[in-house]
Amino acid sequence: MFGRFHKDRGQGSGGHGGAHSRHSRGWVDILAFLKASESLRVLDFGTTSPANINFLTSMGHSVYMANVVQEANKPEWQLPAEEGSSAPRYDVEGFVSANLDFSGRDFDVVLLWDTASYLPPPMVPAVFNRLRGVLRPDGRLLALFHGRIDGPETAFSRYQLSDSEQIGVVHAGDYPVRQVYQMRQIEKLLQGFSSTRFFLGKDNAREVIAVR
């Protein structure tokens, strides 16, 4: 679930069935930061992507992968509801401890993509708090939030990097969007970051760059 890849670990490209591309202003910002810096440590969320590993290591950066959506949707993290309440409860502390333990490592860039949209909502604040804690000063976090619960643009996907304003979008599983986050909710999740920049995509996805 969490692993490091160096330049000599590059592999061939994975499958691209059903792939398309989308314009990402957030990725443009991150790409400029990657090009202007040397030997950064990047944490990329999503299914393992040899294409992303090759792209980032070819720029001289170290890459770590994390894929938490599948794990978060497992029933073992759900707790019994409190008496008189039907609201689901989750072992948030246990989930974060088990899945976001980076063994003391910190990062310059976190590519969270739209991971938060597919997590049980009670887990999301703790995930952002954890990621803020492992970002180095002046580090960047890129996150996407879907503007709709359903629709073809909300399919769980892997985002493939490119040296342009377009990123590849490859279907990666069948997980539903759990919640649509409004601007105020996103701003609350990003409390503690020194600055944020928001971009609204044509597919109704809201992108945000948060600087530690």
Is residue 189 included in any domain, yes or no? Answer: yes
Is residue 2 included in any domain, yes or no? Answer: no
- pLDDT surpasses 70 at 5: no
pTM of the model: 0.89
Of 36, 48, 208, 192, give the one whose Cα is nearest residue 112: 208
Of 18, 116, 6, give the one whose Cα is nearest residue 69: 116
* Cα–Cα distance, 22 to 186 (Å, whole number): 22
- Structural domain including 176 reads 18-78+91-211
Q: Report residue 9's pLDDT band, with 50, 70 and 90 as the boundaries.
A: very low
- The CA-atom distances, in angstroms, between 182 and each of 13, 76, 127, 154, 172 are 36, 29, 18, 16, 25
Q: How confident is the model over 130-170, as pLDDT tens digits?
A: 999 999 999 999 999 999 999 888 999 999 999 999 999 99
Q: How confident is the model over 171-211, as pLDDT tens digits?
A: 999 999 999 999 999 999 999 999 999 998 877 889 999 99
Is residue 47 included in any domain, yes or no? Answer: yes
Is residue 40 included in any domain, yes or no? Answer: yes
Q: How confident is the model over 20-50, as pLDDT tens digits?
A: 899 999 999 999 999 999 999 999 999 999 9
Q: How confident is the model over 104-130, as pLDDT tens digits?
A: 999 999 999 999 999 999 999 999 999
The token pair at 135 is: 């970002």
Which phi-psi region, left, alpha or beta, contains residue 104 (left: φ > 0; alpha: ψ -120 to 50)? left
| CATH assignment at residue 42 | 3.40.50.150
Please state the domain count of the chain: 1
